[in-house]
Each structure stands twice: as C-alpha cells, then as structure tokens.
Amino acid sequence: MVRENRRRVEIAGQRCESRWARLGASRNYAFGFFVASAIVLAILTGKQHCLWYFAQKSCLTPPVLVISSDDWGETSPLETVADLDKLQETLSSVTDASGRPLVLTTYLCPAEPNFEEIAEKQYTGYSWRYCYRDKPEVAARLRELHEAGLVDIEFHGREHSNIPLWLSVLQEDRPGFRQACRDHRIPGRKEPEWQGSADPRQRFTGASFVDASAYPAQALPVEQQREMIASGLALMEAKLGVRATIFTAPSYVFDTNTLQAMALEGLWFLDAIPRPIRQAHADGKVVRSRRRWDYGVEIAGVRGIVRNVNFEPARTGMAPEKYLKATMQAVHRALVSREPIVVCSHRWNFVEAANPNLDRDLLLLRELVARTKAEAPDVMFLGAADLARHLYLGGAGAERDVKLQARQLSTMERVMHGVRCTWVGHSQVRLAASAAGLSLVWLCFAGSLRSRFHGAQDVDSSEQTA
C-alpha cells in the first residue's frame, strides 16, 4: 500500500514536472515570437531604404549636394528683391572644398492665368500671361543670381494648377470660386472652397499634367502635354533668357506621356521623388507600375536625379534643432550609400511674405550645409542641371572643373554595398540584429542549461536520500 502511494506521488510529480516543462517551452516560444516580431518591425521601418541600397547599381564620388526648391513664379509671385538679396548672402556665405558657393535650383512656373480675360469670357475660355509682369525687378534680380552661378533656374511646368479642372469648377459656379478668380487666386485643395465642394477631383488641383476633368483622372495625351511644356519653356527663354534643361512636375505627378512629351521638346532630365511611375495607356487610363523613379530608370530617353532629403523648416512644428537632426539622418543615409544628396525644398522657406521666420530658416540652411561638410569635407555644391549633365552626358555643357565618377557596381559589390549601407545607415537594424543574436543564443542554450541545473538538483536530492 505504501509502495503504491509512493508510486502515485512519483507519477503526479512527473506529470507536474512535464507540465512545467511544457509551460517553460511555451514561454520560450512566446518570447522568441515576440523578439522575432520586434526584429521584423525594426527592419520594415527601414525597408524601403534597404531595398534601394541593394538595388543601387552605381556609386558616386565625391559626394554632391543639390538644393532643389519648387514653386517659384506661379500665380501672384510673393518673392521680393529683398528676399533674393538675403538668399544671395546665404548662398555666398558657404563654399565647398573647391571654393564653389552653394547653389539653389529654383523650379519656376513662368505663367499665371489672365484672370480678367477669363472673367470677361464668362469662364468659357482660358488665357495666360507672364507671372513677373508686375515685378520686373524681381525677374531681373533672379536672372543676375543665375548668371552669377548662385541660382539655377529650371522648369516646373507652365502653370502649377490644373487649369481644365479649375475652369470646369468656375463654369459650374461653385460657391467662392468666381470671387477667388476676381481676387486673382486659385483655391487649393485645402482651402474652404474645395472642402465645401466635396469633389474627389480636388486632389489633382496642383497636378497640371493630369486630365482631372473626369474622375478617376486620366493621362493627358502626349501632344497636349508637349504643348504645355513647349509654351512654358519658350516663355522662360523669352522673358528670363534661360533655357531649362531639367524639369520637376507640379506635385511630382507625371506619367509616361509626360516623359515622351519632354523628349519631343529636348528636355532630357527629370528631378523627382522616388515614387511609382504612372504608366499611361492609349485609352488614357493610368496604372501605377511597380517601377519607381530612380537613377537606373530611362523612359523615352529621359533620365534624372532623385530627391532623398526634405528641408521644409517653414512648415514643420518641430523645434529647429530637432528638425535639423532628423534632416541630417537622411543626409547621412545618402552619404553612406554614396548617392547624390538632393534636397527637396520649396519657395516658402525663402520668402518672408510666406515665412515670418525667414532669418532663422536661412541660418538653419547654413547649419545644414556646415554639418554636411563636417561629415563629408570633400562634398561638392552643384545645381540640379549640372549634376544631371555630369551623370548622363559626361560633364558636357557643365562646369569644367567638376570631376565626378559614377562607378558601376558588380553583383557581389551590390550585395556587399547593400549590407554595409543597411548596417551603417540604420541604427534600428543594428539593434534588431543584436537582439536577434542574443535571443538565438538564449533559445539555443536555455534548454541545456535548464537540464544541467535540474540534473544537479537530482544528484543533490539522491545524495541527501542516501
């Protein structure tokens, strides 16, 4: 009877021990799943950058800094001679290792609607005019800075607004739009007039190279886009004496028809953000392809550069130092990957009428450049057009003293380059890899350590029993 009771106690103890073992194993699995999830999440945070690193086919030496600024000109331009004087002082105050000053590439829309004529026509027709007609002194000062090599004037479309969409809204007499036209203003999609209309087409108000007269929007035919590009380029050349060589589409919305229209006008370079390319079909339908705008893309002979850093201090709610740190993280990634640093900015950061903190933000630009030079003392300052010419035309038509080398990477070099850039450029990836290593070591040795510990306990208990 006593033996039977002891046997039952032993069986119960074994069952309890097996339950605790299963519980411990489930805890291990839960912990491992948690760690793996954290690792995957950390890696996905920088997934897009990591994919770019491994897809990169060439590297550039020495590093290059380009400042691209959109929305100059446009409707009722806000910039003044005083703004341009402050800009000149800022650009001249910083130089690269070769003594070149900082260059601001200004993407300009040279035309605006002729509001009076449009109203006289009862909003049934459209006509445009030169945007600086009432500010010839601003245009003259801008051209002086261009000739001095401080400002690179390039093309941002004839107008920034989607004119057919705007005219259709005027003809429908939506509340507030005709009054805005009389006030020489086109409401944007964030303004009360558009918000009250609840029109899904409003997302395309700033995308002039899109047929937004119907929804969903379609691609404009090549010839229509070509006419808009040709007339805008001709207006810039006639009024400013500048023939643009690089283009950025309003709101960064373009399609394959846009690239074909550019090629027909001899405009071979595009400055854009890395977004999926919109594929235009013969029936006007547009499909977003998986292919993204990058340095390896060439469509209809058009190639270009890619923006990889944002500098918009006038529109951020962050403290200046915190914002500068965030911007420098993107600069650091570009330096690690040995790609050109192409900064995306806008006119409102450099115009006092749109930015009451203009002096502060100009100092912030100087500090951004100073920190970039501290990380890469040999960084070169170029305009967007010069960079494109060097990359794709071997420097033809660009500054003669600039010597850039864009070396093609082999398959093994691309893999090693991707691993290096991922590791150096992303602290969350390093943290995830460290956590993965520690968790794997723990999971591998936890079982053997536990068995040794329990074995030692069994030995002690047997000795005590004896």
pLDDT of 385 reads: 95
pLDDT in tens, 142-166: 999 999 999 999 999 999 999 999 9
pLDDT of 145 reads: 97
Query: Tokens for 339?
Result: 């790609």
pLDDT of 1 reads: 57
Beta-carbon neighbour count of residue 318 at 10 Å? 12
Peptide bond into 200 cis (omega under 30): no
Cα distance between residue 360 and residue 272, in whole Å:
27
pLDDT of 459 reads: 46
Q: Which residues contact 239 (CB under 8 A, 6 or more apart)?
A: 110, 130, 132, 139
pLDDT of 23 reads: 47
Cα distance between residue 226 and residue 258, in whole Å:
8
- Per-position pLDDT tens, the chain of length 466: 556 655 665 555 555 555 545 545 555 655 666 566 555 655 555 555 666 677 777 778 899 999 999 999 999 899 999 999 999 999 999 999 999 999 999 999 999 999 999 999 999 999 999 999 999 999 999 999 999 999 999 999 999 999 999 999 999 999 999 999 999 999 988 888 888 888 888 889 999 999 988 788 999 999 999 999 999 999 999 999 999 999 999 999 999 999 999 999 999 999 999 999 999 999 889 998 888 898 889 999 999 999 999 999 998 889 999 999 999 989 998 898 889 999 999 999 999 999 999 999 999 999 999 999 999 999 999 999 999 999 998 777 776 667 787 777 777 877 776 777 776 666 666 767 777 677 666 666 665 555 555 555 554 555 445 4
Evaluate whether the domain defined by 56-404 bears CATH number 3.30.70.260.
no
Asked whether the CA dihedral 250, 252, 255, 258 is positive or negative, the reply is positive
Reduce the DSSP state of residue 87 to 3 states and report it. Answer: helix
pLDDT in tens, 25-41: 555 655 666 566 555 65
C-alpha distance across the termini of the chain, in Å: 23
Cα distance between residue 69 and residue 309, in whole Å:
12
pLDDT of 411 reads: 79
pLDDT of 37 reads: 59
Residue in 251, 281, 247 with CA at minimum distance from that of residue 264: 247
Angle at alpha carbon of residue 263, lines to 132 and 213, rounded to 5°: 65
pLDDT of 394 reads: 79
Reduce the DSSP state of residue 333 to 3 states and report it. Answer: helix
Name the packing angle between helices 358-375 and 81-92 (round to 10°): 20
Model pTM above 0.75: yes
pLDDT in tens, 254-312: 999 999 999 999 999 999 999 999 999 998 899 988 888 988 899 999 999 999 999 99
